[in-house]
Amino acid sequence: MNVLDLFSGIGGFSLGLERAGFKTVAFCAIDPYCRRVLAKHWPEVPIYDDVRTVSADRLRADGIAVDVICGGFPCQDISFAGNGAGLAGERSGLWREYARIVGELRPRFVIVENVAALLSRGLDDVLGDLAALGYDTEWHCIPASAVGAPHRRDRVWIVADSNVRGMEVGRRPSNIGAIFDGQSGVFTTHGSSCKQQADSLVADANSAQREGMRSPIGIHQKYADAGRSGWWEVEPDVGRVADGVPCRVDRLRALGNAVVPQIPELIGRAILQSEARHAA
């Protein structure tokens, strides 16, 4: 499946999806430093510099067709550390541009990421916009600890499936819920708190260790120990670095804004598995 990666940052979304077998055909990133990173690792993939100028006509003129749109739209107005403007804010309000592009391109799937605060600061609007465009959606709060990181990094992940295709072939669209529910039991509770999910992951890892098994969700025992002792960080701790590192501030900002690639990889693999089951 061809992917249009919006709000691309340094390419965490595409890195994960390409590991699953997808192909990124275009990026969009407004930050010049991030565009340089993307150009280094994906030299053949075009990069647009402003989501407000991306349109179906422009992509068509550039010979780009997409099956999937992904992206984590800006969180500054949604985050509890921000001003609380939500989707009415200047930066988080760029969700409207995301939705516009989805409506113009009508991709098969849409994958959206944002901070957990979206649960109370705009999730209903995001899901409503996707529903109005004809998409069935499932969402779950997935912490980075679900893929082995020693910090929570709570994030909301939304997967939307175009139900137009489902009606055309006389069946319901792919059961997106199965995408999450099939991942080692990690993402089975719709709307449960991220902290509860992280604590559950620790318990699963501890249980697996006691039984002499490798954790099915890839959490190393030291991470489980960290969760038990209560020192897990909400976000990853970026340690001190030597003076003279080029673009240090840009690097830290880009890393802080990036998604954990393993999560879109899991989602991508599950989407392909779901499609294969329906094709069979």
Domain boundaries, the chain: 2-279
Closest CA to 111 of 9, 181, 7, 21: 7
Q: Phi then psi for 8, rounded to 5 degrees?
A: -70, -30
For tokens 């200047």, the residue is 90
- How confident is the model over 10-36, as a mean pLDDT? 97
Give whichever of 2-11, 135-144, 240-249 has the largest mean pLDDT.
Answer: 2-11
- How confident is the model over 78-90, as a mean pLDDT? 89
The secondary structure element, H or E, covering residue 166 is helix 163-168
Kindly name the residue from 28, 34, 70, 75 that is annotated as catalytic: 75
pLDDT bracket for residue 143 (50, 70, 90): confident
Query: Does 3.30.1130.10 match the CATH number of domain 2-279?
Result: no
Whole-structure pTM over 0.85, yes or no? no
Q: Is 34 a catalytic residue?
A: no
Give whichever of 83-97, 160-174, 194-208 has the largest mean pLDDT.
Answer: 83-97
C-alpha neighbours within 13 Å on the C-beta side of residue 202: 21
Asked whether the predicted pLDDT for residue 230 surpasses 60, the reply is no
Tokens read off for 36: 């340089």
Residues 93-109 have pLDDT tens digits of: 999 999 999 999 999 99
Beta carbons of 28 and 46 less than 8 angstroms apart: no
Asked whether the predicted pLDDT for residue 84 surpasses 70, the reply is yes
User: Where are the extended beta strands (E) located within 14-145?
Assistant: 23-28, 47-48, 68-71, 109-115, 135-142
- How confident is the model over 242-246, as a mean pLDDT? 68
Beta carbons of 90 and 47 less than 8 angstroms apart: no
- How confident is the model over 31-49, as a mean pLDDT? 97
pLDDT of residue 144: 86
Inter-CA distances, 164 with 38, 89, 168, 223, Å: 33, 31, 6, 43
